[in-house]
Amino acid sequence: MIKKHLSLLALAGLTFTFSCKEKPAQPEKNLEWISLFNGKDLDDWSIKIRTHELNDNFANTFRVEEGMMKVRYDGYDQFDQQYGHIFYNKPFSYYLLQVEYRFVGEQANGGEGWAIRNSGAMLHSQDPKTMLVDQDFPISVEAQFLGGNGTDPRSTCNLCTPGTNVVLADTLFTPHCINSSSKTYHGDQWVTANFIVLGDQEVHHLVGADTVFSFTKPQIGGGNVNPVDPAVKIDGQLLPSGYIALQSESHPIDFRKVALIDLSPFKEDAGKMKEIVNSALKQD
């Protein structure tokens, strides 16, 4: 989402750690991946674009072509801060989410400088039905996708916090964005992002099987979302679950995989969850 980032803080006290180097004793052979995007249509998704009503897919911003979900702006004269989000129609709580994405082409006319090769996956998002027509971003925890400019370092799977706060190393983190430890992905290459989301306890951002950022206790709070219904934005309320959304922020992007393993049946068994996640990351 926005603009200004801090260096990665030292994280401590996480109760869950994941490593692709550890082999479970008996790898899961039939992992139940749920394909949120079916490669054919957007029937299982809802669209909310700023200044437009829910499910008004203005200028065919979100479309399916060549088996991919594409975000395009060829129908825009000016982007004009018409930030958009496409929401899967079912909320989740404990899960492993995998998104394969690539940035392509040129930014839409009128897009902000910070939004070049910028998108994201919104985790634990508010229900799109509760967003105001002019609301820019959903209350959510954003896993920010950034593409390189061909020269400078620019990490991906960063953290941004529209209408939220998180805890880093036992301290409430209130600035808006912070960089991950990932490398830079220049050009139009595909990137595989994984997110381990454990209710309102822990969230881990991974590129491939490498953890690049982690935090705890996602909760409503802070700013960087406007306007917002005060009945929805209850500061200090933990976020145990929510919707998953993908962004349109003025730069074209393709998504060829959006899939999830539901970990909620195993949330009382940390060992089993770890085994499932490690198996899934090895098999990918």
pLDDT tens string 251-272: 999 999 999 999 999 999 999 9
Does the residue 4 lie in any domain? no
d(CA 130, CA 234): 13
CATH number for 101: 2.60.120.560
**190-207 burial by CB neighbour count: b if 16+ within 10 A, else e?**
ebebbbbbbbbbbbbbbb
Per the structure, the complete domain to which residue 183 belongs is given by 36-283
Does the residue 221 lie in any domain? yes
Number of domains in the chain: 1
Does the residue 9 lie in any domain? no
Whether the Cβ atoms of residue 144 and residue 160 lie closer than 8 Å to each other? yes
pLDDT tens string 125-182: 999 999 999 999 999 999 999 999 999 999 999 999 999 999 999 999 999 999 999 9
| Full-model pTM | 0.91
pLDDT tens string 37-70: 999 999 999 999 999 999 999 999 999 999 999 9
Average pLDDT estimate for 85-111: 98
Looking at the predicted structure, is the pLDDT value of residue 283 above 80? Answer: no
Does the residue 24 lie in any domain? no
d(CA 161, CA 144): 10
Does the residue 10 lie in any domain? no
pLDDT computed for residue 282 by the predictor: 87
pLDDT computed for residue 24 by the predictor: 43
Average pLDDT estimate for 220-234: 97
Beta bridge partners, 83, equal none
Does the residue 83 lie in any domain? yes
Does the residue 126 lie in any domain? yes
Within the chain, residue ranges assigned H as helices are 270-283
pLDDT tens string 14-40: 445 554 444 444 445 557 899 999 999
Does the residue 252 lie in any domain? yes
Looking at the predicted structure, is the pLDDT value of residue 5 above 70? Answer: no
